[in-house]
Amino acid sequence: MNGVPPEHALMLACGLFLLGMIGLVVRRNIVFMLMSVEIMLNATGLAFVAAGAQWGQPDGQIMVMLILAMAATEVAVGLALVLLLNRKFKTLDVDSASTMRG
């Protein structure tokens, strides 16, 4: 036995991605929406690692490094938006951002 079967890892990745998508659609708080996007990015990273392990290639791990870099930039931009939204409207509700101009 050499580890977790790739089907199990892909099913877990699918479940995590769906959980993140549901959290993104249902919640209106921008912090929870950013956390949902992070869950979705981690699910895609898990899927890449599982696929790379199945084929015996390091490509999945390289893609995870790129996903982690993208997640870090997403967090930086997202937290800047959270600070701007909180400072201007005194709330973290995304619906109030529709009046944000220039």
pLDDT tens-digit readout, 15-71: 999 999 999 999 888 899 999 999 999 999 999 999 998 888 999 999 999 999 999
pTM value?
A: 0.85
Q: Which residue range is the domain that position 36 belongs to?
A: 6-93
In a domain, 74, yes or no: yes
In a domain, 102, yes or no: no
CA 86/CA 64 separation, integer angstroms: 32
- Of 1-5, 56-60, 88-92, the one with minimum mean pLDDT is 1-5
Q: How many domains does the chain have?
A: 1
CA 56/CA 6 separation, integer angstroms: 12
Confidence band for 75, pLDDT divided at 50, 70 and 90: very high
